[in-house]
Each structure stands twice: as structure tokens, then as C-alpha cells.
């Protein structure tokens, strides 16, 4: 259990494929909303130890096993969250652009056209694209592109969340960021900049610049967003405002950071949104693994979640981590749900 905790924080952390993920549909799932995923891990290790000791301590170990499972199931009676408004109509866009083409100048025009058309094709309470759907710095995008999305948002009362490359002014110049840009009918543009960056992908860890320079890799550090960024508000006529906590890429892997954001938020959060691009991993198990991690985050927080991905798995999750709807991997499609 200590090792599970430490691998989530050492060298910026990478708690991927933890023991707790196996309990999304397991007997210890009811414990996650109360004590978190690490408590599920503790129970799994403890029960495994007691099963190992059954030969020598049959009665005591049997009581421990029965008690742990019974108490876990009794936790089902506790409900910490409840619906606060009418359901949202959502559209999650899955572009399915190969990573080899993602930053190709010619292919970019196709991506701009596809996502702009997909966004403005039909109104919805909330429309979400994947991470870096527009893989280009915000100020250098084709003229009128963002304005057309804002016009659509205003005309249809749709809220749109778009992934692109942001720009942050620093004393040394402009620094890029991995950004989610929000469009609302009657509010200023919202922006969320990714805070938990990928080592060697979005920043160079301290002490390793020599390594990058030795291989002549053109890698610069992305700007790091603050951990306490405000949630994204989705307003609808005569409806209660829905506030969403956004994560980009693998940020939803870090349950402790997400929990801290929810605790410290000045506005009550009632929805989780993850925007990601897993085209990097090709036809591997990574998309299914991250989907399971997203399910665990919903289970822990008691909040529904929306996942908009480039190549999959785009999905709608319930407040207990259950999959309500999803798109097949490696298809270009839009998931409409409510």
C-alpha cells in the first residue's frame, strides 16, 4: 500500500494501473467514496494476507474476511451526492486523427475543418472536443475560427469546450500551454491550462536538461497551470448552473490532486470532464486502462464524468463509475447523450 502511494508522488507520480482500479465493479467499490482508492487497496492486501493465513488461523482469518466484505457492502447505504439539476444534453466529439498526422501542417487544415463542422453541426447544452483538437497556438489559428464557434454558442445557447495550444505571457516571452478553452452564450471565454505536465513530453525535469540537449531534442517547457483553477460553469436558461472540474490528458490519474481541487473550490463541483489524446499509444491497452481510472475517479467523488478523446475511449460515466454510453475506438464519430 505504501508503494502504491509513493508511486503516485515520486518523480511527479505515475499511479497508472493501481490495485484499486480492479474494484470499480468489485466487492470493495462502496469503500472508495468514503475512504478513497487506497482504502480499497488496503482491503485487498489485507484480505489476501488473511486468505494466505487461513491454514493456520482458520477461525480468526475467516472472521476478518467476512467482516471486511460485509462492512464494505454496508457502505452502499451511504450516498454523498445527488442530482442537482435536469440532465445535460451533451455531444462528445471523437476525431480519430492518427498521431503521425496530428501536427502535420496539411492535416491540420482537415482537423480544423472537421472539429469546427462537428461543433457547429447541432446544438447541445455542452459540446466537448478532445485535448489539442486544434493542434496549433491560439493566436495563430486561421482567422475567424474561434469567432465562428463563439457565434454558434451565442446563437444556440450551447456551451463549448475546445482543446488547443494556449499561450501564456512570461517575463522571458510567450510560453505554450495545453489548454481547454470554453465558450458560453453570455460569459467571457473560460480557459483551463493543464497543471500536471508529462515529464519529457511537456517539461524537462530538473537536472535532465543536459540529457535532452545531448540528443538535440527540440523540447521546451510548457506553462504549468495552477492547481486551484476555477471550475467551468455550464449555464442553461432557467436551470441551475453546472460546475465542471476539467482534467487534460492523464491528469485524472491523480486522485489526490483532483480531490484537493474539489475541496478547495469556491464553487460546488458536480461534474468531471476529461479531454485526452491517446493516439500516442496506438492500438494498446492504454485507452481501456485510462477509462478504468476515470471510472475510479467518478466512484471516489460520486460525480458523473464526460470523456472526450481523439481515438477512444469516448464515454459518459455515472456517479458510481458505471459506463452509461461510449463510442468504439478508432472511429470518427460524435457521442450524443443526456
Dist CA 4 CA 42 (whole Å): 10
The number of CA neighbours under 13 Å toward the Cβ of 208 is 13
Contact 326, 316 (CB under 8 A): yes
Question: Which H or E run contains 166?
Answer: strand 159-170
Answer whether 89's CB lies under 8 Å from 126's CB.
yes
For residue 76, what is the DSSP state? Answer: G
Active site residue 131: yes
| Eight-class DSSP state of 20 | G
Angle between helices 105-120 and 145-156 (to 10 degrees): 10
Q: Say whether 194 is catalytic.
A: yes
d(CA 264, CA 198): 24
8 A C-beta contact, residue 275 and residue 285: no
Q: Which of 21, 50, 102, 131 is catalytic?
A: 131
In order, the DSSP letters of 82-95 are ---SSPPPEEEEE-
Q: How far is CA 243 from the centre of its chain?
A: 15
Catalytic residue among 21, 40, 50, 249: 249
Does the annotation mark 40 as catalytic?
no
Question: Residue 242 forms beta bridges with which residues?
Answer: 234
Identify the residue whose cell numbers are 492486501: 45
Please, what's the largest Cα pairwise distance for the chain?
75
Q: Pick the catalytic residue: 102, 194, 251, 300? A: 194
Give exposure, 191-203, as e/b (b: 16+ Cβ within 10 Å).
Answer: bbbbbbbbeeebb
Residues annotated as catalytic (active site), given as ranges: 131, 194, 249
Amino acid at each position: 500500500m505504501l508503494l502504491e502511494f509513493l508511486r503516485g508522488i515520486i518523480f511527479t507520480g505515475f499511479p497508472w494501473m493501481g490495485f484499486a482500479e480492479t474494484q470499480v465493479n468489485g466487492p470493495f467499490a462502496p469503500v472508495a467514496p468514503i475512504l478513497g482508492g487506497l482504502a480499497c487497496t488496503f482491503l485487498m492486501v489485507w484480505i489476501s494476507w488473511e486468505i494466505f493465513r487461513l491454514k493456520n488461523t482458520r477461525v480468526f482469518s475467516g472472521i476478518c474476511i467476512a467482516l471486511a466484505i460485509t462492512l464494505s457492502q454496508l457502505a452502499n447505504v451511504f450516498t454523498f451526492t445527488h442530482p442537482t439539476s435536469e440532465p445535460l444534453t451533451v455531444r462528445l466529439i471523437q476525431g480519430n486523427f492518427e498521431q503521425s498526422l496530428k501536427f502535420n501542417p496539411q492535416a491540420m487544415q482537415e482537423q480544423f475543418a472537421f472539429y469546427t463542422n462537428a461543433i457547429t453541426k447541432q446544438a447541445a447544452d455542452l459540446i466537448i472536443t478532445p485535448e489539442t483538437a486544434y493542434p496549433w497556438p491560439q493566436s495563430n489559428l486561421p482567422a475567424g475560427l474561434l469567432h465562428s464557434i463563439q457565434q454558434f454558442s451565442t446563437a444556440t445557447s450551447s456551451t463549448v469546450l475546445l482543446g488547443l495550444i494556449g499561450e501564456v505571457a512570461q517575463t522571458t516571452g510567450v510560453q505554450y500551454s495545453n489548454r481547454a478553452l470554453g465558450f458560453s452564450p453570455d460569459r467571457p471565454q473560460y480557459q483551463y491550462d493543464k497543471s500536471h505536465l508529462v515529464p519529457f513530453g511537456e517539461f524537462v525535469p530538473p537536472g535532465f536538461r543536459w540529457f535532452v540537449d545531448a540528443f538535440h531534442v527540440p523540447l521546451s517547457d510548457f506553462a504549468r497551470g495552477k492547481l486551484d483553477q476555477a471550475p467551468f460553469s455550464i449555464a442553461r436558461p432557467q436551470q441551475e448552473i453546472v460546475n465542471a472540474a476539467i482534467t487534460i490528458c492523464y491528469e485524472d490519474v491523480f486522485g489526490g490532486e483532483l480531490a484537493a481541487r474539489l475541496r478547495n473550490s469556491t464553487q460546488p463541483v458536480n461534474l468531471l470532464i476529461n479531454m485526452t489524446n491517446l493516439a500516442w499509444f496506438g492500438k494498446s491497452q492504454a485507452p481501456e486502462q485510462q477509462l478504468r481510472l476515470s471510472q475510479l475517479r467518478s466512484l471516489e467523488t460520486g460525480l458523473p464524468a464526460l470523456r472526450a478523446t481523439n481515438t477512444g475511449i469516448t464515454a459518459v460515466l455515472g456517479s458510481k463509475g458505471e459506463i452509461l454510453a461510449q463510442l468504439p475506438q478508432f472511429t470518427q464519430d460524435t457521442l450524443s447523450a443526456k
